[in-house]
Copies of this chain bind each other. A is one copy, B any other.
């Protein structure tokens, strides 16, 4: 770290508090970005392989133009009529048309962050069912408010939350029970989900909803036992609950289709979107049937000062239009499949690589020790070495031993090839 960065870090600790999260052993100081590239003060260029928020690229001119035009024209709250925000909600609804959701997706509540949108979804499910109980996985994270942080794996350890229960997230790599066929494994996880539902019903809280990231991103992008998502959805509906699909990471073509639920088979009643929606502008949404939305509005008179503004509308529409116009879903599917196959191919020769998995441009590489246990040190080492070579990513998963590759949607094959060269070099540098 140069002196400027050291001084900046000291000022940051004072002005923002110690423990404000930072990436990398030596924090990275950034000053500029363009497309999939970001730059430090010395002009050094990095390929961004982490950021899903600037989904259509850093400093995307179409988004900048929409933002500047909206802000210089009109930017008011939503208690006046404005066409832009209606159009954005109609576009969002349209993106679910004909897709395999549980109920119709007809109406949208716009907010400013994934946390706010998850709050709306959870409260919507509680109002609709008259029950309080929420079920999530034991390896998840959905946001940072009082209610939503109850769903974080960081806080679930104490088991002292009557209204939230977790079940083990479904995966084939470290299965809940060894020696089962995949079909049996699916049933084993379903049984744990059913037990959580039964527990809530027995406790008097009752069962309101299951909330899942449709591709289990924070759980480390596991390969999910076949049929689990469809069967879990059916089980929830049979129990009178609602399914919430957290598409904050999975949605917006991240998985090669518009929605993660299209890929994984989850059948949501309520869909939550966030991160990529505004290419950096705070923008999130909760979408559901009109009946669910109307009921939520009647119960809460929900109003959100900054949400549903002409600014959010213009930027949100520009992002959707850009993704459609540039056919980024196809780019994600093609480049993602290419990159995953290339990494899989290399895995055999590197014993530290336990697994390569993921969907679209969201790939996880699990790093393990010779005994198969999670190797966080090597994961962190790989991430930092790749940073030094000009490629930015992070580590994730419940053991933090999964290299998390999640570039902007405009990441192309040429970027993948450059990365693969750096990847080979990095793996070659690891101690045997």
Contacts and interface: CB of A to CB of B under 8 A. Distances in A.
A54 B297 CA distance: 26
B107 A16 contact: yes
Interface string A1-40: 0000100110110111111111100011111110000100
B74 A59 contact: yes
Contacts of A112: 112-113, 116, 282, 306
B80 A275 contact: no
A71 interface: yes
B30 A82 contact: yes
A294 B17 contact: yes
A362 to B, nearest CB: 16
Nearest to A298: B19
Interface stretch (A146-154, A194-202, A319-327): A146-154
A9 B303 contact: no
Q: How many copies does the complex hold?
A: 2
Interface stretch (A61-69, A166-174, A342-350, A409-417): A61-69
A211 interface: no
B305 A86 contact: no
Contact of A296 (B9, B17, B72, B308): B17
Contacts of A110: 16
A429 to B, nearest CB: 24
A interface majority secondary structure: mixed
B63 A71 contact: yes
A301 B63 CA distance: 31
B76 A29 contact: no
Interface string A381-403: 00000000000000000000000
Contacts of A64: 68, 71-72
A129 interface: no
A73 interface: yes
A81 B29 contact: yes
Contact of A108 (B16, B144, B301, B308): B16
A293 interface: yes
Contacts of A145: 116, 119, 145-147
Which of the listed residues A22, A107, A154 has the most CB atoms from chain B within 10 Å of its own CB? Answer: A107
Contact of A15 (B86, B115, B307): B86
A79 B307 CA distance: 25
A267 interface: no
Contacts of A302: 144
A146 B149 contact: no
Contact of A72 (B59, B77, B90): B59
A169 B328 CA distance: 55
A96 interface: no
A77 to B, nearest CB: 7
A27 B29 CA distance: 48
Q: Which A-B residue pairs are the 5 nearest by beta carbons?
A: A17-B293, A15-B89, A75-B280, A19-B297, A282-B282
Given A16-B109, A17-B290, A20-B308, 8 more contacts: A15-B90, A23-B79, A29-B82, A75-B280, A112-B113, A112-B116, A280-B306, A282-B282
20 contacts: A11-B90, A12-B86, A19-B298, A21-B79, A30-B80, A30-B81, A32-B73, A33-B76, A53-B77, A58-B75, A64-B71, A67-B68, A76-B280, A112-B113, A113-B304, A119-B144, A145-B147, A146-B146, A146-B147, A154-B301
